[in-house]
């Protein structure tokens, strides 16, 4: 008996290590994490000699074991609960949570150095000047991001966020460089309210916030075009909301541990379903898609299913071309955008003969030469004000 006890510990240790290894090997690797919205490390089973001796392969192995660990999401979810129980301010070193309201606040952004802001301003200046040689006007719009304008409720010891100052510096640099620019928040006519304009658990704006941004964009753009373009009126009676639970982007990073009342809502004229011809790519490519396959796909989902922002409004396409059968302006507008624009892309499209939407994260074309060849009537770059690079993250 004493001899068995002597070997019990090493036997148990061996079973745990070997069993864990066996489970790891038998578990099918996942290509990406739905919660973290990123690619997971894959196994590199044939490393080069250089990778081995440089230490690169050992880091890959470490990342692979971490990313593909059995039941990783379950462990990570429990880790978030542990952090909350211990009273940690920034969960996963990213977000603070107000338990009473379910409101998630991002970790404050530091001040950007002049070099980083100047680099973005120079890129926009170059884009603006090259387009000007082809008589194509250009305007940069910064859209108010939740992370910049939603700072409460948060712990009173949380450092100040530098987002507003970063944005103001950028606009000053652009004005000095002769680039037409608009800080959209200054033109959103209703009383600006973070609670009304942004989701509690996601980094995007709600339909109400998106609509307010859309009205400001169309109003300022119509002044530049010299055309009397009136935004589609927000009719409260047209608002419809889904019963589905919302998988907010920040809540997903916290493994959906934050209880909240976020709800996906829509406000759009019924004519949107029939007045557009939508091309996934260019008109010449000829690949068309129905409205309901592009916008509001969550409307067709079962009420028990979780809905994220892309399902609710639109996923990101490298290029969409929207031809409008019932337009007020015969202009061809090009919008270079990030995901904030997705909720209002058809509202904007409803005014113009053609709207081309480009997402530089996925577009495999040189944007400057492509815009020159396209010869649109106007080009807009619309990024949320945390995106301070021409190639957004």
Model confidence pLDDT, tens digit, residues 47-69: 777 777 777 767 766 665 565 55
Would the pLDDT of 380 be above 80?
A: yes
Segment 291-295 shows an average pLDDT of 96
- Reading phi first (left if > 0) and then psi (alpha if -120 to 50, else beta), residue 272 is in alpha
**Spatial separation of the C-alpha atoms in residues 167 and 117, rounded to whole Å:** 9
Q: What tokens does 284 get?
A: 């010449």
Would the pLDDT of 19 be above 60?
A: no
Q: What is the 8-class DSSP label of residue 199?
A: -
Query: CB neighbours (10 Å) of residue 157?
Result: 6
What is the per-residue burial (b if ≥16 Cβ within 10 Å, else e) of 168-183?
A: ebbbebbeebebebbb
Give how far the C-alpha of residue 120 lies from the chain's centroid of Cα atoms, to the nearest Å.
19
**Spatial separation of the C-alpha atoms in residues 377 and 224, rounded to whole Å:** 12
Q: What pLDDT does 29 receive?
A: 62
Segment 184-196 shows an average pLDDT of 83
Q: What pLDDT does 325 receive?
A: 94
Please, is 49 exposed, middle or buried when counting C-beta atoms within 10 Å of its C-beta (0-12, 13-18, 19+)?
Answer: exposed
Please, is 393 exposed, middle or buried when counting C-beta atoms within 10 Å of its C-beta (0-12, 13-18, 19+)?
Answer: exposed
303's CB contacts (< 8 A; 6+ apart) are 242, 243, 244
Question: Average pLDDT, whole number, for the chain?
Answer: 87
Handedness of CA 288, 292, 296, 299 (dihedral sign): negative
Would the pLDDT of 191 be above 80?
A: no
Helix ranges restricted to H, the chain: 2-26, 49-54, 56-67, 72-85, 114-132, 146-149, 163-176, 194-197, 207-225, 249-253, 291-294, 309-312, 345-349, 367-374
Lowest mean pLDDT of 46-55, 74-83, 373-382, name the range: 46-55
CA within 13 Å, CB half, 20: 11
Encode pLDDT of 198-252 as tens digits.
999 999 999 999 999 999 999 999 999 999 999 998 888 889 999 999 999 999 9
Q: What pLDDT does 3 receive?
A: 56
pLDDT band per the 50, 70, 90 thresholds, residue 45: low
pLDDT band per the 50, 70, 90 thresholds, residue 388: very high
Among the listed residues 34, 382, 52, 19, the one whose alpha carbon sits nearest the alpha carbon of residue 187: 382
138: part of which helix (H) or strand (E)? strand 138-143
Better-predicted residue by pLDDT, 94 or 55: 94
Residue holding tokens 């916008």?
A: 295
Segment 8-33 shows an average pLDDT of 55
Q: What pLDDT does 75 receive?
A: 79
Handedness of CA 361, 217, 144, 246 (dihedral sign): negative
Better-predicted residue by pLDDT, 31 or 290: 290
Taking CA atoms, 127 is separated from 115, 130, 143, 198, in Å, by 18, 5, 19, 31
Taking CA atoms, 388 is separated from 24, 141, 201, 383, in Å, by 40, 12, 23, 8
Segment 296-307 shows an average pLDDT of 95
326: part of which helix (H) or strand (E)? none
Encode pLDDT of 98-151 as tens digits.
988 999 999 999 999 989 999 999 999 999 999 999 999 999 999 999 999 998
Segment 71-86 shows an average pLDDT of 82
Beta-ladder partners of 379: 138, 334
């Amino acid at each position: 008996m004493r001899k068995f006890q002597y070997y019990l510990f090493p036997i148990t240790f061996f079973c745990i290590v070997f069993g864990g290894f066996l489970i790891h090997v038998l578990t099918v690797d996942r290509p990406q994490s739905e919660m973290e919205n990123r690619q997971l490390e894959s196994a590199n089973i044939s490393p080069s000699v250089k990778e081995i001796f440089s230490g690169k392969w050992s880091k890959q192995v470490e990342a692979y074991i971490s990313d593909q660990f059995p039941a990783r999401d379950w462990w990570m979810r429990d880790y978030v609960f542990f952090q909350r129980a211990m009273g940690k301010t920034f969960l996963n070193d990213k977000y603070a949570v107000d338990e009473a309201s379910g409101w998630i606040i991002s970790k404050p952004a530091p001040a950007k150095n002049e070099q980083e802001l100047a680099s973005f301003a120079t890129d926009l200046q170059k884009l603006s000047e090259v387009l000007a040689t082809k008589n194509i006007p250009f305007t940069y719009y910064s859209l108010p991001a939740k992370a910049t304008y939603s700072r409460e409720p948060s712990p009173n010891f949380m450092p100040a966020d530098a987002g507003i100052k970063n944005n103001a510096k950028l606009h000053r640099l652009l004005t000095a460089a002769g680039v037409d620019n608009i800080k959209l928040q200054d033109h959103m006519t209703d009383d600006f309210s973070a609670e009304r304009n942004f989701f509690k658990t996601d980094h995007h704006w709600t339909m109400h916030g998106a609509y307010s941004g859309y009205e400001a964009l169309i109003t300022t753009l119509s002044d530049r075009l010299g055309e009397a373009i009136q935004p589609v009126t927000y009719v409260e009676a047209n608002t419809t909301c889904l019963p589905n639970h919302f998988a907010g982007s920040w809540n997903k990073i916290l493994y959906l541990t934050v209880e909240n009342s976020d709800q996906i809502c829509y406000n759009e004229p019924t004519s949107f379903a029939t007045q557009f011809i939508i091309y996934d790519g260019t008109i010449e490519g000829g690949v068309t898609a129905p409205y309901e396959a592009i916008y509001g796909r969550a409307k067709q989902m079962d009420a028990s299913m979780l809905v994220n922002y892309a399902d609710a409004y639109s996923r990101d396409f490298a290029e969409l071309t929207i031809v409008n059968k019932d337009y007020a302006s015969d202009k061809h507008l090009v919008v270079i955008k990030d995901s904030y624009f997705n909720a209002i892309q058809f509202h904007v499209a409803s005014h113009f003969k053609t709207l081309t939407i480009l997402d530089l994260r996925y577009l495999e074309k040189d944007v400057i030469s492509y815009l020159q060849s396209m010869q649109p009537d106007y080009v807009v770059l619309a990024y949320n004000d945390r995106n301070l690079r021409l190639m957004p993250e």
